[in-house]
Structure 1
Amino acid sequence: MEQLAGFLAISFSHKSTQIDIREKIAFSTTQEIKSFLQNLKIENKNIQEVVLLSTCNRVEIYIYTPEFEDTKKFVITKLSKKKSIDFEELQKNADIYTNQEAIHHVFCVASSLDSIVVGETQIAGQLKSAYKFCFDNQLCGKNLTRLIHFAFRCAAAVRNSTQISNNSISVASLAAKEANSLLEKNGIKDKIAVVIGVGEMGSLTSKHLLHYGYRILLLNRNKQKALVLAEELNSEYNDKIEVKNFSELPTLINQYPLLFCATSATQFIILDSMVEDVDFKRFWFDLSVPRNIQNPQIDKIHLFDVDDLQQVADENLESRKKNTIKAYEIVGQHTLDFSKWLQSLGIDPLIKKLRELAKNASLKELERSIKKGFLPKEYEENVAKILHSAFNVFLHQPTINLKKISDKEEADPIIEALKTIFDINDEVVLINRYKCEYDTILH
């Protein structure tokens, strides 16, 4: 019998993978993701559907496949070759989840329970974007759509049933808070920050700094984008953002104590050779993955990356422990509910199809009997009723038994065996059972 397909999650996150590995395997463009995933599907037919999520905290690949072990090795091999990382090194950093564990993990990710900052809201948007991109490019279909849709439903239940996202914080807000605290501790009263990058992380960082009363010197390679963000924020914060030319970067990093870097550059944009030894302490926050600041060789510069904010995040987690426990209970229940729902997708249509086969066989034999003269035509309606009752009685107990096992582990092989015996095509059974809610979960 053909092996059943299921969910596989390959995770490289802040929990198991150091930033120096994460930045090497990060994907910088959607085109790079598309090319990588398309090649995976072309070269390995066991990869039926795939979604890739790449953020500053994680690179994760979600797959629908009938071959977990071979698929895992294949994907890690391809990733190691593409990113020029030793296979063994990459494999030991990977967290692997299959079937129900994979479902639970994806639900935790969507609900921000697996984030550096538990309760942050960025991850939901990042997961939606990753799914939408893969769906639009025919990289995933009904099975991962079901998984992601239920993940968002679970995340909504966590938000609505707990206070885990109240006063929502993020890596950007933690960085701004930590920077403000460091400046106060060191008696630095001039609230000026250099911010490099105007993407989501740079924009959020700027907003949090403005909330703390900082004046911002904003830089971006595309100056027009920086001007657009400055205009948007200056209307609310009384013109506290000044856009600088990117060419001024080497000068500005040596003039001010506080700097934040959050760009999508794939290499260092602040080099050690650009750094001058000045007579004041500097606090630099590199919120980019891959990192954009080369580690400076000057003692008076304190450099923080996204992983260095873990301790601050842990303190935040302690204060939210009650909500976190409740959130995990919700994720556990949704995991069970989703697994049962998946089973019902096979059970209910299978029962319907079996009844349809029995009905068609009965009516076909009735029609044949009348044509051959075994039965008068005027008896057709009454005999049809008798036959209908007969196959209903015959299928009554099997129907009850099938529904009883629908949420048990042995259901899958029984369903597959029945489909094989009665020659029932999977797509015939399932194609109309799930209406993709792609539009409703993204807009």
Structure 2
Amino acid sequence: MNERIQTQFMVMSFSHKNAAIDIREKLNFATEQIVPFLQKICASEAIKEAILLCTCNRVEIYTSILDRRIARDHIYQCLTQEKQISLESLQDIVHIYLNQYAIYHIFCVASSLDSLVVGETQITGQLKVAYKLSYDHALCSKDMTRLMHFAFKCAAHVRAHTDISSNSVSVASAAVNMAEQKLQEKGESLDSVEVLLIGSGEMGRLVAKHLSNHQAKITLLNRSEHNAQNLAQEIKANIPTYPIVVKPYETLRESLKTHRVVFVATAAKDYVIKSDMIVPHHDRRLYFDLSVPRNIETMAIPHTEIYSVDDLQEIVDQNKTSRQESAKVGLKIVDQFTADFFKWLQTLSIDPIIKQMRYLAKQSAMKELERAIKKGYLPQEYEKNVEKILHGAFNTFLHQPTMRLRQASENPQGDPIIEATKNIFDISDDVVMLNGYKCEKDTTIY
């Protein structure tokens, strides 16, 4: 059986749609853990290539496989061993997508149509980073490169032909907007309070950017004060007089006493803010934890409201309403790209089959022509003219079958026809795979 028929695509998804944040915390992978885990996955003969996408809202494993049952069970086993989560717990929540459904899902993810905040701008870049990490460690090659190539084209097309990313919203901006709404309920706003921001990574940078748009006064803490200073300079480069102050990380306890609005966005694997760090108070406190695993310990303290990424539903609902029409258009684009991907993928194998059929016909014709001349049935001087006649004859004969084969290759249900043709003409898989696919590794972040 050739590679096109054997290879299937599978997605195992744990996202905000089916897995609560406490499960996503357990399933979360630090960057240095991803490659060893993918190596374990790809150790199975049933799994050819794999990519792991790990964000605050999803942990998803994208694979090209040879046997769906063996591949699925092997990934379950790897997850249960790595994360100490029972098989039953994983099976209860996982979403598994196969083939066309897997491709459709991945294209939706790349186009931010499956995001908690539809239209958010981070996910395409995160997927590119995940692909590059896997590619650079030889954990994915032809199958997933083909797929990612189309996914990024699809994402670009959705952005170019819809308004889904206009006034783009991210988890960071949704959290900042929620903070503004919560303050306005009491007649306040972000520009009237001092905000404590803990973390200066990508999420922290986005939070700082959106806070600056609201003219909030920011106190920035980070374990690396150098990185915090760099972020402060980045913000001040746009607004030289902007009130952002960097303090040593060791001042965290004291800063919590004086700030009523706190955003936490770090890569820490444990709690950054614990219950014993909070002193009793009478003012309303708003804490926004944008980290997975969570950085704020679950606690019940009077006048203190703690929000995680899964608590942004108010802003998410507003976002869905405003982008509903764009999302509908985007999903139609994804649907078309999914169909185009499979059509294109199938044509990769049909061209060498057609070429081999023509080659076999020509070889048979030339063999009979040579025999006729040797036997004296045909004068030598007629060889070229007869060769032209035979060439026209077998091309005419093969025209209709090759047209039908091309039509069959554009339909997923055409596989039996193509396989039957290969058997009839005794065309081996080695011949089919001579038509190697080449795709430039695309790592540019849109």
Letter in 1 for 2:363: N
Residue 439 of structure 1 aligns to a residue whose secondary structure is: coil
Aligned residues: 441
Change (3 A) 1:198 1:389: same
Q: Select 1:6's aligned residue among 2, 5, 8.
A: 8
Q: Distance in 2 between matches of 1:242 and 1:365?
A: 88
Q: Distance in 2 between matches of 1:244 and 1:365?
A: 89
CA displacement at 1:125 relative to structure 2: 0.5
Q: Distance in 1 between matches of 2:253 and 2:150?
A: 48
CA contact (8 A) 1:366 1:380 kept: yes
For 1:262-284, what per-residue CA distance to the aligned partner results, in whole angstroms no more than 9, with x for missing partners?
Answer: 11111112111211112211100
Using the TM superposition, name which of 216-225 and 402-411 deviates more.
Answer: 402-411
CA contact (8 A) 1:346 1:415 kept: no
CA contact (8 A) 1:152 1:441 kept: no
Letter in 1 for 2:75: V
**Aligned match of 1:235:** 237
Using the TM superposition, name which of 303-312 and 418-427 deviates more.
Answer: 418-427
Residue 47 of structure 2 aligns to a residue whose secondary structure is: coil
CA contact (8 A) 2:352 2:434 kept: no
CA contact (8 A) 1:261 1:287 kept: yes
**Aligned match of 1:178:** 178
Query: Is 2:386 the partner of 1:383?
Result: yes
**Aligned match of 1:116:** 116
Change (3 A) 1:206 1:375: same
Letter in 2 for 1:419: K
**Aligned match of 1:75:** 75
Residue 6 of structure 2 aligns to a residue whose secondary structure is: coil
Q: How much identity, in percent, do the aligned residues show? A: 49
For 1:399-424, what per-residue CA distance to the aligned partner results, in whole angstroms no more than 9, with x for missing partners?
Answer: 12212322223322332343355454
Using the TM superposition, name which of 138-147 and 205-214 deviates more.
Answer: 138-147
For 1:32-73, what per-residue CA distance to the aligned partner results, in whole angstroms no more than 9, with x for missing partners?
Answer: 11111112112x111111111000000111111121122112
Q: Distance in 2 between matches of 1:232 and 1:389?
A: 70
Q: Distance in 1 between matches of 2:367 and 2:39?
A: 47
Letter in 2 for 1:182: K
Say what the alpha-carbon RMSD is for the aligned residues. 2.1
Change (3 A) 1:193 1:344: same
**Aligned match of 2:54:** 54
Query: Is 2:331 the partner of 1:331?
Result: no
Q: Distance in 2 between matches of 1:211 and 1:224?
A: 24
Q: Distance in 2 between matches of 1:422 and 1:197?
A: 64
**Pairs within 5 Å for 1:237-256:** 237=239, 238-256=241-259
Letter in 1 for 2:78: K
Letter in 1 for 2:22: D
Q: Distance in 1 between matches of 2:443 and 2:34?
A: 24
Q: Select 1:397's aligned residue among 393, 400, 411.
A: 400
Letter in 1 for 2:206: L
**Aligned match of 2:139:** 139
For normalisation by structure 2, the TM-score amounts to: 0.93
**Pairs within 5 Å for 1:360-439:** 360-364=363-367, 366-367=369-370, 376-426=379-429, 428-430=431-433, 432=435, 434-439=437-442
Q: Select 1:224's aligned residue among 223, 226, 230.
A: 226
Q: Distance in 1 between matches of 2:45 and 2:373?
A: 50
Residue 258 of structure 2 aligns to a residue whose secondary structure is: coil
Q: Distance in 1 between matches of 2:445 and 2:429?
A: 28
Using the TM superposition, name which of 382-391 and 213-222 deviates more.
Answer: 382-391
Change (3 A) 1:243 1:383: same
CA displacement at 1:208 relative to structure 2: 0.2
Q: Distance in 1 between matches of 2:412 and 2:245?
A: 61
For normalisation by structure 1, the TM-score amounts to: 0.93
Letter in 2 for 1:59: V
Q: Select 2:290's aligned residue among 287, 291, 302.
A: 287
**Aligned match of 2:34:** 33
**Aligned match of 2:22:** 20
Query: Is 2:200 the partner of 1:198?
Result: yes
Identify unmatched segments of 5+ residues in structure 1. Answer: none
Residue 405 of structure 1 aligns to a residue whose secondary structure is: helix
Q: Distance in 2 between matches of 1:265 and 1:431?
A: 49
Q: Distance in 2 between matches of 1:379 and 1:198?
A: 82
Q: Distance in 1 between matches of 2:380 and 2:263?
A: 87
Q: Select 1:214's aligned residue among 207, 213, 216.
A: 216
CA displacement at 1:427 relative to structure 2: 5.9
Q: Distance in 2 between matches of 1:27 and 1:369?
A: 71
CA displacement at 1:201 relative to structure 2: 0.7
**Aligned match of 2:100:** 100
Residue 379 of structure 1 aligns to a residue whose secondary structure is: helix
CA contact (8 A) 1:198 1:225 kept: yes
CA displacement at 1:377 relative to structure 2: 4.0
CA contact (8 A) 2:348 2:435 kept: no
